[in-house]
Chain A
Amino acid sequence: MKPSDVVLRTENLKAHYVLDVPGGQKVVRAVDGVELQIRRNEIYGIAGESGCGKSTLMKTLYAWVNRPLRLVEGSVFYSKDGQEFDVYALNKQELRRLRWTFMAYVPQGAMSIFNPVIKIKETYRDFLSSHLRGKTVEEMFEMAKEHIEQLGLPVSILEAYPHQLSGGMRQRVAIALAALLRPSVIFADEPTTALDVVVQRGVVQLLKDIQERLHNTIILVTHDMGIHANVTDRLCIMYAGRIIEEAATVEIFKNPLHPYTQFLINSLPQFGDTGERVSAPGQPPSLANLPSGCAFHPRCPQAMPICRERRPEDTKLGEHRVACWLHAERGEAEYAANS
């Protein structure tokens, strides 16, 4: 991967929820040492069971860290106009200006993200007026209209109040709003969850359209592997606050290495498949009290003694990386052979 291709990069990113509980503190390690490199002009997927820290990772990347969440360690670098900068080194104003013009966010649960007492066009206007200078109200409404038309959404929604729109429409408006100022990076957190399949397809298509139009980066979180298969270029699997496997999406589906990834893929309904779907046995671990060694070992059918004791480091197999003791040696051997 050429460094100039990278738009977003993290180093050993750790973000924990620090909660005051009677008689001390509880630490939820929602993001616990994440290494990522995300490129320009790709749709990058993040998959994993609910509660594994996907949303927290997205917020941390977006530098949206509010109590009780805390950035504990590591950094997030963006590159903009050939310059790389640490997003956590920016002050509040610089960060505010970066938002929506350079990076935008579609939060999880878009049902309630619009101000219920103003029309959608007013929300558009608030975004436009906060990031652009010297536009009249009419000009801003006109821009909103053009934008909505370009994306193939009905213009009438601009005059509607949020409660008058369906869930799917609200979700699409949220995505459209994120694309409004042609940002280089769009974060989309579970945009399809809680929608029915037909509506899901529309939402996915909208995301793809936007990416094709803007040639930007979209980071898409969903626990639905089917969507990842259809949409994303590269995919990482998250488990207990860490990334346990990452590769091109095609590669992951063809050749899943981590036992957890295999479970995720096998649990997909397959055409003509009548057999029992196998999902990972047991419950995801509590992030406040992680198992020793590899966090997946209590649920892993192939667990070995070492899995209980030491956490596996990333093994790189070309563009495919995995953190699992089953593949550690293979990686080392390949490394040895290559050098």
Chain B
Amino acid sequence: MALGSTLRDLFRDYRFVVAFIVLLFLVALAVISAFSPYDPTIWYYAPRDLKPSSQHILGTDSRGQDIFWQAAFAIRNSLIISIVAGLFSRLIAVAVGLVAGYQGGRTDRVLMFITDGFLVIPLFLILVMLAMLIRDKMNVFTTGLLLAVFGWAWDARVLRSQVLSLREREFTKTAILSGTPTLELVFKEYMPYITPLAFSTLINNMSWAIGMEMTLSIIGLTNMDIPTLGTNLKWALNYQAILMRRWNWILTPVVLSVLLFIALYWLSVSISEYLDPRTRVQRVGGE
């Protein structure tokens, strides 16, 4: 599968194109947050509750902060959280999936028992407890890690069944017979199959992580000093933005997150449909 032709095929799918453009726009927004004239942790650097104007494109909020620049920071931090969560949970999922699928036997049973446990327990509640206790110490990175611990189980199962089917293939038997070291076999022969799958689950998982961060924020379980899509929304809710009809304030994180979720979802659907037309719709993320 040459990368060029893969991309060409993907770009034939309108969903991929739309998702790609939207994501590009959001990433650009995240990048320009580096050039923000304001420090997002400082309050009242601008007059409060301004309507959109040329000075403040989206107006300002009741904390005297510029809504546009806060949103740029929020997108950046939410993306970082989701990438940290996504990558670390992929590490766990790939490791568990590979070991369980490859070793089989008792190892497989034990690992799958744990994995199923993670699928059956209402993880969200446990996540709530954990978040409650460490919320003040949380930063972007630790939030990502915390979510990673909870978001791997489903994908570990998916990857395991892929490995199981690879094991049955001829090349595995040949490789084992010819004495290829396990690690070499796994990395050389399996990775080309595992990587695309892990990638498509990565996108789903990122989307789940962003949503989970927002959920935790709404319940009030994240560090409110760090601007994320979740905390932006939470501040707006705290200041009764709906009641005051401050649509520019409340709708900014809502619209941005809707764009982000739809873009990530379309991207993943389009990729997984490309990988395997039969498993067209996937479950989103962890729990």
Which of A's residues lie within 8 Å of B, judged by CB? 22
Cβ contacts under 8 Å, B12 to chain A: 22
Interface members, chain B 5-40 (any A CB < 8 Å): 8-9, 12
Nearest-neighbor residue (CB-CB) of B9 within chain A: A22
Cβ contacts under 8 Å, A22 to chain B: 8-9, 12
Q: Is the interface of B mostly helix, strand, loop or mixed?
A: helix
A223: min CB distance to chain B, Å: 23
Interface members, chain B 59-97 (any A CB < 8 Å): none
Please measure, in the bound complex, the distance between the C-alpha atom of A22 and the C-alpha atom of B8, giving whole angstroms. Answer: 10
Nearest-neighbor residue (CB-CB) of A22 within chain B: B9
Residues 119-144 of B, flagged 1 when their CB comes within 8 A of A and 0 if not, give 00000000000000000000000000
Complex A-B: 3 CB contacts under 8 Å: A22-B8, A22-B9, A22-B12
Cβ contacts under 8 Å, B8 to chain A: 22
Please measure, in the bound complex, the distance between the C-alpha atom of A22 and the C-alpha atom of B13, giving whole angstroms. Answer: 12
B89: min CB distance to chain A, Å: 33
B267: min CB distance to chain A, Å: 20
B5: min CB distance to chain A, Å: 8
Nearest-neighbor residue (CB-CB) of B8 within chain A: A22
Cβ contacts under 8 Å, B9 to chain A: 22
A181: min CB distance to chain B, Å: 35
Please measure, in the bound complex, the distance between the C-alpha atom of A22 and the C-alpha atom of B12, giving whole angstroms. Answer: 9
A280: min CB distance to chain B, Å: 24
Please measure, in the bound complex, the distance between the C-alpha atom of A22 and the C-alpha atom of B9, giving whole angstroms. Answer: 8
Please measure, in the bound complex, the distance between the C-alpha atom of A22 and the C-alpha atom of B7, giving whole angstroms. Answer: 12
Please measure, in the bound complex, the distance between the C-alpha atom of A64 and the C-alpha atom of B12, giving whole angstroms. Answer: 32
B2: min CB distance to chain A, Å: 13
Please measure, in the bound complex, the distance between the C-alpha atom of A22 and the C-alpha atom of B274, giving whole angstroms. Answer: 12
Residues 176-207 of B, flagged 1 when their CB comes within 8 A of A and 0 if not, give 00000000000000000000000000000000
Nearest 3 A-B pairs (CB), nearest first? A22-B9, A22-B12, A22-B8
A210: min CB distance to chain B, Å: 37
Please measure, in the bound complex, the distance between the C-alpha atom of A22 and the C-alpha atom of B6, giving whole angstroms. Answer: 11
A47: min CB distance to chain B, Å: 29
B76: min CB distance to chain A, Å: 37
B275: min CB distance to chain A, Å: 15
Please measure, in the bound complex, the distance between the C-alpha atom of A22 and the C-alpha atom of B5, giving whole angstroms. Answer: 10
Please measure, in the bound complex, the distance between the C-alpha atom of A57 and the C-alpha atom of B33, giving whole angstroms. Answer: 65
B14: min CB distance to chain A, Å: 15
Please measure, in the bound complex, the distance between the C-alpha atom of A157 and the C-alpha atom of B12, giving whole angstroms. Answer: 51
Nearest-neighbor residue (CB-CB) of B5 within chain A: A22
B282: min CB distance to chain A, Å: 24
A286: min CB distance to chain B, Å: 21
Please measure, in the bound complex, the distance between the C-alpha atom of A191 and the C-alpha atom of B12, giving whole angstroms. Answer: 42
Please measure, in the bound complex, the distance between the C-alpha atom of A282 and the C-alpha atom of B194, giving whole angstroms. Answer: 34
Please measure, in the bound complex, the distance between the C-alpha atom of A319 and the C-alpha atom of B127, giving whole angstroms. Answer: 80
Please measure, in the bound complex, the distance between the C-alpha atom of A153 and the C-alpha atom of B12, giving whole angstroms. Answer: 55
A220: min CB distance to chain B, Å: 33
Please measure, in the bound complex, the distance between the C-alpha atom of A259 and the C-alpha atom of B12, giving whole angstroms. Answer: 47
A278: min CB distance to chain B, Å: 26
Please measure, in the bound complex, the distance between the C-alpha atom of A265 and the C-alpha atom of B209, giving whole angstroms. Answer: 64
Please measure, in the bound complex, the distance between the C-alpha atom of A22 and the C-alpha atom of B11, giving whole angstroms. Answer: 12
A112: min CB distance to chain B, Å: 16
Interface members, chain B 232-274 (any A CB < 8 Å): none
Please measure, in the bound complex, the distance between the C-alpha atom of A63 and the C-alpha atom of B18, giving whole angstroms. Answer: 42
B270: min CB distance to chain A, Å: 15
A140: min CB distance to chain B, Å: 36
A256: min CB distance to chain B, Å: 35
